[in-house]
Amino acid sequence: MHFSVFALASVADVATTRRLYALDDLDDKAVSKVLFHQRKQQTGSSEALRWDQRMLVGISVIEYGSAGLRVTSCDFSTGEERTMLDAYYAAAARNPRVVCWDGRDLDRPLLHFRSLMHRVSAPAYWNAAGGAAASHVDIRASLAPPGDDLPSLDVTARKLGYPGMLGRDDDDVHTAWLRREPEAVRAYVEVAALNTFLLTLRLFSMTGEIDADAAREAEDSVRAWLHQRAQTHHLAAFLDAWRDA
């Protein structure tokens, strides 16, 4: 079976906000605060930004198929936002079955809107499976109907014996981006993608889309990939946490 898993890191779209509201004299942190304040006024309580108020700062895509495991990660130090979008569409072209965690309401709309911003053309993606919708799997949506009280990727992964996010969350991404610490953003997306990949194997085993032997083989491929990169702190930590589970 061929499929791709992706995880994103996004922050406040300071470039668009600065342009729309003539905030050229403010730095990124101050512009972010303006956007968070506006969002709280809109919602009455929450500062959580919509997909059209965010921009990409990192992506990790894990592809699995007959050629084995392939991991592609980009952050704001290794490429522009367009590079991150290209990585997503390239993986989707090779493996039209695309999986994410909680991507239906945020990640996919964010990817599509940023593609509009950057004039990305991907006709094969949109022509596949009736506009790409049928080939996408949102794991959280597969487990439960939409709602506010839903488990996180971290909690779900740890309950099933996987490492979880190792203490990382969305706030860490924003802080790392403001401090220009791309390694922290890369760690976030890679850990999120690894957890999502392992949950995908568990889900596809349950639905019969992949058999038990193939799932174990795929897990072994992940372990081998982690062993080869054990010098990278967050990957070594992921492997250690998985061993202890």
Per-residue pLDDT of 195-209, as tens digits, reads 999 999 999 999 999
Inter-residue contact 171 to 191 (CB < 8 Å): no
Q: What is the pLDDT of residue 245?
A: 65
Dihedral sign, Cα of residue 8, residue 5, residue 230, residue 239: positive
Residue 94: phi and psi, rounded to 5, are -80, -30
Per-residue pLDDT of 180-189, as tens digits, reads 999 999 999 9
| Average pLDDT along the chain | 92
Q: What is the pLDDT of residue 26?
A: 96
3-state secondary structure 34-52: HHHHHHHHHHCCCCCCCHH
Q: What is the pLDDT of residue 191?
A: 98
Confidence of residue 130 (pLDDT cuts 50, 70, 90): low
pLDDT at residue 55 above 90? yes
Per-residue pLDDT of 1-47, as tens digits, reads 789 999 999 999 999 999 999 999 999 999 999 999 999 999 999 99
Write the CATH number of the domain with boundaries 3-244: 3.30.420.10
Look up residue 158 and give its two tokens: 């740890």
Q: What is the pLDDT of residue 180?
A: 95
Inter-residue contact 88 to 59 (CB < 8 Å): yes
Q: What is the pLDDT of residue 120?
A: 94
Per-residue pLDDT of 91-110, as tens digits, reads 998 888 899 998 888 999 99
DSSP string of 189-214?
Answer: HHHHHHHHHHHHHHHHHHHTSS-HHH
Q: What is the pLDDT of residue 148?
A: 66
pLDDT at residue 159 above 80? yes
| CB contact set of 170 (below 8 Å; sequence gap of 6+) | none
Rounded CA-CA distance 79/76 in Å is 6
Confidence of residue 59 (pLDDT cuts 50, 70, 90): very high
The residues spanned by each domain of the chain are: 3-244
